[in-house]
A and B are shown apart, each in its own frame.
Chain A
Amino acid sequence: ETGVTQSPTHLIKTRGQQVTLRCSSQSGHNTVSWYQQALGQGPQFIFQYYREEENGRGNFPPRFSGLQFPNYSSELNVNALELDDSALYLCASCWGGRASTDTQYFGPGTRLTVL
């Protein structure tokens, strides 16, 4: 059984650029959630995908978008990067479509720095 993996580990971008972050869910998991964790804050829910469909979204603008693939891996895309997008981006996977009742397993995160 493999755990949740994320790539890249670190990333530096400039304002206005676009970025794609990747997440491979734990084996057998069909649900992926993405979180943004700014320094000194708790994780903030961005959105969740279940069986390739978005089934929940937090208070993030449309320039934050995602995809889930048939193998349940996922991407987070952020367009028109702003300085405030600098954060640790976490993905978490679970089985069954409900992170509130299933146990979520978190990845190590991708540290994004926007200059």
Chain B
Amino acid sequence: AQRVTQPEKLLSVFKGAPVELKCNYSYSGSPELFWYVQYSRQRLQLLLRHISRESIKGFTADLNKGETSFHLKKPFAQEEDSAMYYCALSRNRDDKIIFGKGTRLHILP
């Protein structure tokens, strides 16, 4: 079965330090991968998707098919990055989106 694993429930990083939120997936086909973010008292929203190869708010994510990973990275953390981050996968043959359990990112001052 398809699965998205985010190994860290909580990640604390000092402001200005690099951030890496880990995401591993299991799927035999070619998935579409996403990162969603939920800031405090806000709605869940799409941060970025791998197919767009974009950088949003300084975050990037690279799909590594060999390691089946899609880690989210930012070179210098900012306090406003504190939020809940969810990695998600969609299979090509249908539109079901599978979410990981999420990682809470806490940026320390």
A→B interface (CB under 8 Å): 4, 33, 35, 40-45, 48, 55-58, 90, 92, 97-101, 103-108
Contacts and interface: CB of A to CB of B under 8 A. Distances in A.
A48 to B, nearest CB: 6
Nearest to B42: A108
Interface of B: 4, 32, 43-46, 51, 86, 88, 90, 94-102
A100 B36 CA distance: 12
Given A45-B99, A106-B44, 12 more contacts: A42-B99, A42-B101, A42-B102, A43-B44, A43-B99, A45-B96, A56-B94, A56-B96, A99-B90, A100-B97, A101-B32, A105-B45
Contact of B43 (A48, A58, A97, A106): A106
Nearest to B102: A42
Nearest to B4: A42
B97 A33 contact: yes
Nearest to B91: A100
28 contacts: A35-B99, A40-B101, A42-B86, A42-B88, A42-B101, A42-B102, A44-B99, A45-B97, A45-B98, A45-B99, A48-B95, A48-B96, A56-B94, A56-B95, A57-B96, A92-B44, A97-B95, A98-B95, A99-B90, A99-B95, A99-B97, A100-B95, A101-B51, A103-B46, A104-B97, A105-B43, A106-B44, A106-B45
